[in-house]
Structures are given as C-alpha cells and as structure tokens.
Structure 1
Amino acid sequence: MSPLWLRSGVALGTLLGALAVAAVPAQAGPADDTALRRTVESTLVAERGAQARAAYASTALETMVEPSRRSGAWVFGGAVIRVPDGVEASPVTALFLAHRVAGRWRVTLEGTPEFGAAAQVAPVVDAGERALFAVRPALAGTATGLALPWAQGAGWAHWGVHGDSGTSRPYNAIDFYGGDGHVRASRAGKIYRFCTSARWPYIKVVHDNGYTTGYYHTVNQTTKPDGSDIALGEQVGDINTQLPCGGSANGDHVHWTLWQGSTAVAVQGKDIGGWTWYEGSSAYQGYAERNGTRIYGNTCCNLVNYGGGGPTPTYSTGTVNSGTYSSVNVRSGPGTSYGVIGSQAHNDVIQIACTASGGSVSGPYGTSTVWDRKPDGGYVSAAFVKLDAGQPVPPGC
C-alpha cells in the first residue's frame, strides 16, 4: 500500500475541526478512503501533536496513515507523526481502530480507554490483541520485567540516557551499540511496524505487562507479520542508521525507547536488563548501576544483559591453560581479527555464558573454531579452556 504523507502548519486547536493540509494523492481503493485518513490524522494530531511538537521542537507536523486490516465497518492500522530531518529521535506513533457508524468514522488510538473498549468488539483484532490492548493502571515500582535488547549474557555499550528526541522530556530513550549487533526483543509481546513504505520500517513491541518498547534505525528485520507474537530475546533486526520515519542518526545503533501506551516513561530508577538506570546532568549522560558497578556511556562492551528479572543466570565454568604463553587474550568477538579487551592468566577459572563459532586457533587443547563467551561479553578461544568437571556444556550464543 502506498503511504500518504500529509503536512500541516495549522494550530492544534484548528486541527480538531477541519484540517488544512496538502495531501499527496493516494491510490484508489477502500483502504485509502479520504475521510478515514483525515479522521485518523486529526485524532492523531489532537492527541499526540503536543507531544510531537515538544519532542521535535517543530510547529509543522507531517503525518502518515497506514490502514492494514479491514473487516466490514472496521479498520485497524498505524499512524505516525514523522520526525523532521536532522532531528535525532524516534517517531511519535499510534495504532488506531476506526469504526464507520452512520456514515462517519470514529477513531480511537492505543493507550486510551476508548481504544481498549473498541478492541474488545472489533473483528479486525484477534483474541491475543484484545487482552494486550486492554487498558492497565500505571505500573508501580522500579522493576520493568524488561531485558536489554540483545542476547542475555552478552555485553554491549550505550550512549547515555536521553529523551525520545535528545533533550526532550522525559528521558525515556537509550542508544545501544556494540556486540554482535543483533537487536532482540526486551520482553515477549506483539510486533508492529510504522512507515512501512521504507524497506526497514520502525518497529515497536507491545508487551503483556503494559509497557511498549521501540526499536529505531534497524535493518535485516524479522519477517513476522504485524500482530505476530515475538518472544523475549527473539531477533528484531540489526543496528544501523535507517530513518524510515525521518530524523537523524550518527553511527550504527538502536534507538531504544520505553512507553506505557502513548505515554513516554522515564528510565530513571528503572531496572532494565538487571541494571538500574540513572540520568546525568544533561542528555546523553547518566549511567547503569548494578551491585555497585557503574557503566557510563561509550564504554564498550561490558554492559551485560542479565535479562528481565527473575533468578540470576547460572554459567558453566572452565579453567584456562595458557600453554607456552604467560596469559591468553580476551577479545571483543570470536576470532583473532577482533580487538584484545583483556587477558586471562594460566589456571584462571572463567564463567562461560555461551559458545560461538569463529576463527581457528591452536592451543593446548588442539585446534578449535569454538570461542567461549564470558558474561561480560569477552571471548576466549576454547583451544585454551577446559570445561571443569561436572559442568554442563554451554549453549550456543
């Protein structure tokens, strides 16, 4: 379906009535009904416009309406307020339900009681989504039940705590990079896309505990259709600098955001991935803390993902045999082409989170392409490590 981009500089109050917009012609068909698009747009700008203007520091709003399912008088889809060029942010988005009654469209947006009620009767919503879209009270406490968006036990890095658009409040966003670059779902939920005319759209996952997480700038994304279940740790895509909904990006990363319905949720004091997150004195500062250890931005790659809560992970152990060397290199990836980030002495006992296939290395235990990944994200060749007696074989990374 071809998208429809609409630009408006009209005041928010005026938009609540009839919108004065310049529309790009859409292809004919029932899903491109002009009245539907205009009603969705006016509702989106009325309910999310102030949020977008504050985040983008812009008065002109450009919107996109993407119907995806239609049954009788009902339509389900997504709507976007595009990020202006040059602004580093993820887009303001909303799923919508539209119901044609007495010749007029009634539109509700996710995160509202009206949307939750409409989802219970709309034939375009399945049983799993009905439960997911039911409105929940605000979540209390610091626990989120969310993991960091990469493999459990692996270490990445971050560029500090900030707003969805840099200095915008609240600080609900963190930019992550490093590791294997594979971006994974922070918790089980259902996946939805926005700005789908682009090859690599914006993805967000709506979770069963009331939170929603966003994943911007990714490529090589999952091919699962919208509304599909996605598991904790299942791959969403890879870090990159894609801008399907506009904006700006500097260096491969995922712009990860935290929401509850349509409300941005500050990460301050929240437990995410086993770390408690804190803001700094300004955007792109702050740190993650766990057991007295603080990880500030641009420190690669020791921000280990401990998952979304529950028991502390258990790891296999192995003993290092450095052979004729005084120590064994610890590398940032599974091969000698990766940088050296540390070392292990002879007879050191190390924890092994998982094993990965990589470059071939010869050592006391023969020639091996297996690399043992430690919980901090460092890799040691299995040619220099013997699994301790009685330890389970580590899983693959």
Structure 2
Amino acid sequence: MNNINQQRQQLRHQCELVFPGFHTLSPAEEFRAMSAWCETNHIEHDIYGEGELLSNFEQKIASLLGKPAAVFMPSGVMAQLIAVQLWAERSGLPRFGMHPTSHLIGHEEQAYQALLKLHGVPVGDRLTPILAADIDAVKQSLACLLVELPIRHSGGQLPDWEQLQALKEKARERGIPLHMDGARLWESQAFYGKTHAEIADGFDSVYVSMYKGIGGIAGAVLAGDEDFIATARLWQRRLGGTLVHQSPMVASSAMRFDERLSQMEACLQRSRALAEGLQNIPGIRVNPAVPQTNMMHIYFDAHQDKVMAVRDKIAEEEKCWVVGTVRPAEVPGWSVTELYVGDNLLALSNEQVIPYFRQLVG
C-alpha cells in the first residue's frame, strides 16, 4: 500500500461518521463477539469440513435457496470455478457463458483459462443484466450460463421478475444449465419480494457470498443437487480448500446472518430515498435512478482527483467519510463511485447526508 493510500485509510479510521456499508468491528471486537457467540452456542471446531456447526449452516443455506445440498468454501472464486468445471464435466463442453462484467473476467486473472482450460463466452450487454434475448444471440453450445444477480458494474441492476422467468425458460429450451452468481443475492430479495428459494428456482447451482452482504470474515456457499455438491467437495479438496478448521469463517457468518438478512429491505428503501435526494444536486447523476438493491453508482461532473481531495478534506475537518474510491467515468471529465448502503446510513436522514455530497461537486 502506497503512502497516500495509507493516509486515506487512517483518515477513514478516525472518522466518526462513515456513510458506505455496514458498521464494521475491529479485529479485537470481532473476535470477542465470535468468542461470546461460540460459547453461548457450544461451538466446536470442524475437522477438515466435518462438524456440526458447518453441516448445520450448509443445510440452512441449502434450505433457504431451495436446493438439496450445499457446501461452504473459503472463497467465492473457488466456488464459482468449481461450478463451471462441474458443468463442463457433465456436458463434455469446455465452454461456458457469462456476463461481460463477470467477476471471472475482471477480477480472477483468467483463472478459468489458466487452471481449468475453459473458454468463457461473453453474453449480453455490459450495461444491462442478461435477458432471454441474449441467449438467443448465442450460437455456440454452452456447458452452463453464469447469471449475476444483481449486475454490480451497472449499479446493482436486476432483471424484473417477468424477465428473470423468461430467462429461465429460454435456458430450459436451449438445454443450458443456469448457475447463479449470487454474491449479492441477499441484497436482491427485497426488490423481487419473493423468497430466496423462489428466486433461485430454475437455477441449477447457486453461489452466495458470506462476507459481502453478511459481513463474515470470508467464505462462500455453493448449492445444488446432491451429486453436484458431492463432486464439488472433491474439487474443493483438489484445490486446497478443505481447511483444517473453517469454523472461524462460519461462526463469523452464522452469528450475524439472520440479522443482516432482516435489514436488507430497510437498506433498499434508504437507498431509494438517498438516490432521490442526490438527483436534485447539480453535477450528480445516479445509476440506476431508482436503486434496485442497496447499491448505486454515483456520477460526478468533476475529475476524480478533485472529488477525492474534497472527500479527504471533509474527513480531516469534519470527521465524516462520505464515499470510497472515486474513479474516472467513461465520459471525459466525469468520475464515479460505488455506494453500498448498509446500517451506517439507516440512522441518518437526507438532511444530514446530502450537504456532504453537495460539497463533493461544489
């Protein structure tokens, strides 16, 4: 980490108000909370993936998603690579489809090519979710299609319910298994007003994150049919993911899981109220204009260096951290940041928050 990044980390830590995300504990606070939860619930370590805490949590997630089985893994990268590998094995096709902004393309150093020798086919437009018509446009046979719910790189956009059902039906017609990249599925449920199982119905496998929305130390869960998950466990061991103890990751997720899920509806409504207020600031645009999850992209009619300099000044002088990283937007002279709305903003009104955003473009 370079000096300026270290200085900005220190600035953020000294702030009394932090707008993005959920309240996070220090390592010492986190470990004390885990210790108390484990003592109350009489938790024992798992041994290489075998143990009551782990198996109960896996079954809880499987039931929530309406799938027969699930397996906890140390990372979403591992979970999704295993998923595409298994669909390639089942179909005999070394080729799968994914959104142009998929995590597998942009953040994993081409692992599906380097490790698994698979061919990834971009499907759909990078600014919108994958729709049924996008499957029609694919002329190649696919082992599976990864569908991200929501699309992070377009501000957390989702297909509406009818579009999602049409996508599932089109995949069935083409005989293409659907795998859900549900890193932010927990944030999507409030938009649909359906159960998690109803959303996941029609997906042959599902990955969900245990740290992004839930706030666990790390980890992911992969769900599917019993044979699929049994083979996934085999690949988890092959890839070095069967750790001697996964209980610290599982405990940090399990102890806050229900509470975090219960907050997602309020976070969505707070996102929409904030977006409505931001739209009235000259020089700011929000995508999507009406958030579909508790996430949005905020565009500034200003260079990123200027916006970040003002943000740092606010942090230093007013002890308030307004936004995270600001990067160049595609329109020259504009910049953009991603804002994830968690419980930090639930207790703050627009009257308290909006003036700080005005300063960023003032």
Normalising TM by the smaller chain, what interval? under 0.3
Structure number having the greater helix percentage = 2
* TM-score normalized by the length of structure 2: 0.22
* TM-score normalized by the length of structure 1: 0.21
**Does 1 or 2 have the higher relative contact order (CA < 8 Å, sep 6+)?**
2
Structure number having the greater strand percentage = 1
State the structure with more CA Rg. 1
